[in-house]
Amino acid sequence: MVHLSRRTVLLAGVAWAVTEPVPNNVHAQDGSRPSLPIPAELRAGAGGTIRLDARLGSMQFVGDRKTATYGINGFYLGPAVRVRRGEKVVAQVSNNVPETITMHWHGLIIPGAADGGPHQVIPPGKQWQTELAVDQQAATLWFHPHSYPATAQEVIRGLAGLLIIDDEESDRLPLPSRWGVDDIPLIIQDRRFTPDGQFFDRMNYIAVTNGYVGDTALVNGARYPQARTARGWIRLRILNGSNARSYALAASDGRSLYVIGSDGGLLANPVELKRLLIHVGERFEVLVDGRDGRAFDIVTLPVTQDIMRLPPFDGPLSLVTIRPEGADGTGQLPSSLAVLPALPGQLPPMSQELVMNMFRDQQGMMPLKTAGLMEMVKSGKTDPAVVARVVSLIVTDPVLSPTDQLSANGVNGKSFSIERMDFAAARNRDLRWRISEGNDLMLHPVHIHGCQFRIISRDGKPPEAERAGWKDVAPISAGGATEILLRFPHPANRDAPYMAHCHILEHEDSGMMTQFTV
Ligand code: C2O
Ligand code: CU
Ligand code: CU
């Protein structure tokens, strides 16, 4: 058996070297590693109905302690719902958890009334039914609650799942497509646990400015699991389902990641990378060459978000082991994938600006500075005393009053209000929007409902090749601006507007969201 060390020095090509031994806080190499859970595929039955049941569950994440969870048709996370382009299905969502939820189809291009945003509430014990008419290219989307202001806590507990669209164009490609065999979903999340094994969750100034900071990585709800796959090309459908954390993914042995798809579908051509940055809400489909049959880990390297460099994320951290040791796979890496329309030479005029604001970043950042976090990150050396001070702020800083929470962040100078429509967008027309940030320098992965868009530029430059295709999340950071080209084919009225928001869920739940009609 190949014995991979938890901390792996990567080959050249990945700009990172381990300088400091850091405590190995997750799994021992004890042979008792969990298998990667593969969410069950769920297709519409004879009546064309997809039933999702949000319910209480319990999981064993840490030692023998039981963590109370929420799950959809199961104990934690949900099934992989599969629909085809052209299909009309009825989604029936039952809420059997003790709080109001909604169910939002992230990335699906449907009318506001079917979108499952904060206005389509499902009280405990109730059901919500909506038609989903699928008319967009093959893609890996997802669903999750969008309750205002409780999305963060409901996702932490486990409500989220994949929504996969198939179409004829993708059927014709020789891509690996045997679910759980050479087509492997990876939902990456980070969590922190209380001493009695429950999910840590605390809305204080540290959280509303920095977002949720976990110290344990989960993949499909398992800690450092291993996946036995076909021997051959392997497709990874990666969802960053974390609340706030970005990941810089790489293979432990330096093998290439070939990105074939982004949020809204396949790219024109594969993009070969050694390191793939994925922000919250984003999806990438990646092919890796497992024809050698050798095991490797998907690791995450440190990212630029300061607080996200706390251990164990201060060096390469293994997330999952891929063992391509099964029967030969038949999938291939095609050299061309999908037709992506070129951006128009003449761009439409700018019709909307979205400025992400942080009104309380001083309250959230100063204590971290005082604790020495920024200095430590700059030095590149983990200091246990600093780490202890920062963790203590994360877990003990006082919980905010509702008023303080809901007014901490905003868009265009205002915190979200569910009663106020902020603007109207034209239907069926190419639009150009500019997304930027106020005075802070933090990362905001901004998501817009009701569309798949294209990134025109980020900070004046064309987007990275892996973000040049269909997207529904656009990152901005360090005072920069991103311009996007978008179009809304469906209506969204005052009772069921679309949302645009930072997908850092603690930002979203504290005002960094705006709503608009089409
Ligand atoms: Cu993934 Cu508005 O959400
Ligand atoms: Cu969405
Ligand atoms: Cu944000």
Ligand 1 neighbour 507 (Cβ under 6 A)? no
User: pLDDT tens digit string along 332-355?
Assistant: 999 999 999 999 999 999 999 999
**How far does residue 386's CA lie from ligand 3's centre (Å)?**
25
Question: Residue 109: nearest ligand to its CA?
Answer: 2
Ligand 1 neighbour 386 (Cβ under 6 A)? no
Cβ–Cβ under 8 Å, residues 476 and 484: no
- The mean pLDDT of 413-434, rounded to a whole number, is 98
Whole-number pLDDT of residue 17? 32
**How far does residue 218's CA lie from ligand 3's centre (Å)?**
22
Whole-number pLDDT of residue 32? 80
**How far does residue 143's CA lie from ligand 1's centre (Å)?**
8
Transcribe 401-424 into DSSP letters. Answer: PHHHHHTSEEETTB---TT---EE
Cβ–Cβ under 8 Å, residues 463 and 457: yes
Residue 61 clears pLDDT 90, i.e. is over it: yes
Percent of the chain with pLDDT over 90: 91
Distance (Å, whole) CA 346 – CA 358? 34
Ligand 1 neighbour 290 (Cβ under 6 A)? no
Distance (Å, whole) CA 437 – CA 474? 12
**Residue 6: pLDDT band with limits 50, 70, 90:** very low
Number of alpha helices (DSSP H) and beta strands (DSSP E) in the chain: 8, 30
**How far does residue 264's CA lie from ligand 3's centre (Å)?**
21
The token pair that represents 321 in the structure block = 């082991």
Residue of the nearest CA to atom 1 in ligand 1? 106
Atom from ligand 1 closest to the CA of residue 117: 2
Whole-number pLDDT of residue 5? 40
Whole-number pLDDT of residue 272? 98
Ligand 1 neighbour 281 (Cβ under 6 A)? yes
Whole-number pLDDT of residue 46? 80
Ligand 1 neighbour 518 (Cβ under 6 A)? no
Distance (Å, whole) CA 284 – CA 123? 33
Distance (Å, whole) CA 270 – CA 376? 37
Distance (Å, whole) CA 500 – CA 435? 10
Whole-number pLDDT of residue 45? 81
Residue 366 clears pLDDT 80, i.e. is over it: yes
Distance (Å, whole) CA 362 – CA 408? 11
Q: Would you call 167 exposed, middle or buried from its count of C-beta atoms within 10 A (0-12, 13-18, 19+)?
A: buried
Residue 101 clears pLDDT 60, i.e. is over it: yes
- The mean pLDDT of 288-296, rounded to a whole number, is 98
Residue 508: which of 101, 147, 13 has the closest Cα? 147
Distance (Å, whole) CA 22 – CA 336? 42
**How far does residue 448's CA lie from ligand 2's centre (Å)?**
6
User: pLDDT tens digit string along 194-245?
Assistant: 999 999 999 999 999 999 999 999 999 999 999 999 999 999 999 999 999 9
Whole-number pLDDT of residue 11? 33
Which residues, 6+ apart, have CB-to-CB distance to 238 below 8 Å? 186, 188, 249, 278, 283, 284, 285, 286
**How far does residue 304's CA lie from ligand 3's centre (Å)?**
14
Question: Residue 441: nearest ligand to its CA?
Answer: 3
Question: Residue 471: nearest ligand to its CA?
Answer: 2
Ligand 1 neighbour 279 (Cβ under 6 A)? no
Ligand 1 neighbour 447 (Cβ under 6 A)? yes
Which residues, 6+ apart, have CB-to-CB distance to 89 below 8 Å? 44, 48, 49, 50, 83, 131, 132, 134
- The mean pLDDT of 41-48, rounded to a whole number, is 91
Residue of the nearest CA to atom 3 in ligand 1? 106
Backbone angles phi, psi at 363, to 5 degrees: -65, -30
What is the residue-averaged pLDDT of the chain? 93
Choice among 265-274, 470-479, 503-512 with the minimum mean pLDDT:
470-479
User: pLDDT tens digit string along 244-287?
Assistant: 999 999 999 999 999 999 999 999 999 999 999 999 999 999 99
Atom from ligand 1 closest to the CA of residue 281: 1
- The mean pLDDT of 9-28, rounded to a whole number, is 34
Distance (Å, whole) CA 316 – CA 6? 8
Percent of the chain with pLDDT over 70: 94
**How far does residue 23's CA lie from ligand 2's centre (Å)?**
37
Whole-number pLDDT of residue 22? 31
- The mean pLDDT of 490-507, rounded to a whole number, is 98
Residue 16 clears pLDDT 50, i.e. is over it: no
